[in-house]
A and B are shown apart, each in its own frame.
Chain A
Amino acid sequence: MSTNRLVDGVNVASHYRDATHQYDSNKEGIWLFMTTEILMFGGLFVGYIIFHTLYPEMFAEGATYLNWKLGFINTLVLIFSSLTMALGIYYCQVNQRNKATLALAVTILCGAIFMVIKYFEYTHKFHLGIFPGEKLNLEMVKPEHANLGLYFGFYYCMSGLHGLHVLIGMGLITWVMIKNIKGEFNSKYFTPVEGVGIFWHIIDLIWIFLFPLLYLVG
């Protein structure tokens, strides 16, 4: 059914007229998927905004437990990784395979740095007895507001889901990096790199809002 054939050096599935037709369709599919990611994450933002408005002092107290400097560094790390991801796509487009591989590798490395910093943030909090929701250790933390657990419920869910996506993104970038090393991409065909790149940029996009939301505005 999906018998491919070569059109101008690109593998095109039989139900597409040519490489451009296939590319345009693939891109549209990718964007539709990204829209669902926005809607899914967005639900968390909606919840956060509502409860921040209802409990402003409690949220302010919660934010004092967050280290904005680490958040700041992580923001720079992700922005840098977004740049290298874009470069990775660029180098595929201009047939510079090795530079593309390097750019993708650096992107993965940035993701790893992000996760390591996140790991330190989380373990530090665990050490203080800060767990989400009802699991917040009230004796250890002695919060001013009894429902401080609600704040940390949001904190862990939002940063956790985001972190999970970082890990998934790292896996996907590894996948396209390996395909690139094997020579599967060139200036005429680089759609998977682009798709993974857009996914990675969404992760960056979400963090651009998460950083002020959690670390600064609390």
Chain B
Amino acid sequence: MAQKQSHSEGHHVTPLAIYYKIGLALFLLTFLTVGAHSIREHIQPFAALVAFSIAGVKAYLVMAWFMHLKYDKPSNRLIFSLGFIFLAVLIGFCALDIVSRVAQNSIL
């Protein structure tokens, strides 16, 4: 981290090595994903959970390091997370509706 701090005006510069490590990790996690996919019959009913959990980890790596959120202001982290939070609201209430609908049996 001290290495290429330079006079980047207080802008944090992520060292090259970290970028390569994150990139490698992302590659490996992708292999892991398709690996889990190929044995999905054996890990049912968790196949989807595994796939999306790995995706979640990959997303975190991209957001924290590639998008630099780990070193950014908390306000920017809050702003970006609001998108996900309100998406959760949208699906939450839609799902609540659909799941609790009672089948209408015709009396005709």
Contacts and interface: CB of A to CB of B under 8 A. Distances in A.
**Contact present between A and B (CB < 8 A):** yes
Prevailing SS type, chain B contact patch: helix
A76 B30 contact: yes
Interface string A200-218: 0110110011011000110
Contacts, number: 143
In the complex, which of the residues A20, A27, A49, A208 has the most CB atoms of chain B within 10 Å of its own CB atom? A208
Contacts of B43: none
Prevailing SS type, chain A contact patch: helix
A46 B58 contact: no
B87 A46 contact: yes
A176 interface: no
Given A31-B76, A187-B6, A216-B33, A39 B83 contact: yes
Interface residues of A, number: 52
A204 B62 contact: yes
Interface string A91-132: 001110000000000000000000000000000000000000
Interface in A42-72: 42-43, 45-46, 49-50, 54, 68, 72
Given A38-B84, A46-B94, A198 B59 contact: no
Contacts of B94: 46, 50
B6 A208 contact: no
Contact of A209 (B22, B47, B52): B52
A186 B61 CA distance: 26
A146 interface: no
Interface in B13-35: 13-14, 16, 19-20, 22-23, 26-27, 30, 33-34
A172 B81 CA distance: 24
A139 interface: no
B73 interface: yes
Contacts of A76: 27, 30
Contacts of A209: 52, 55, 59
Q: Which A-B residue pairs are the 7 nearest by beta carbons?
A: A38-B83, A83-B23, A42-B87, A212-B51, A35-B83, A46-B91, A31-B76
Given A79-B27, A82-B23, 15 more contacts: A19-B9, A23-B9, A38-B80, A80-B23, A82-B66, A83-B19, A86-B65, A90-B13, A93-B6, A198-B67, A204-B62, A212-B33, A212-B37, A212-B54, A212-B55
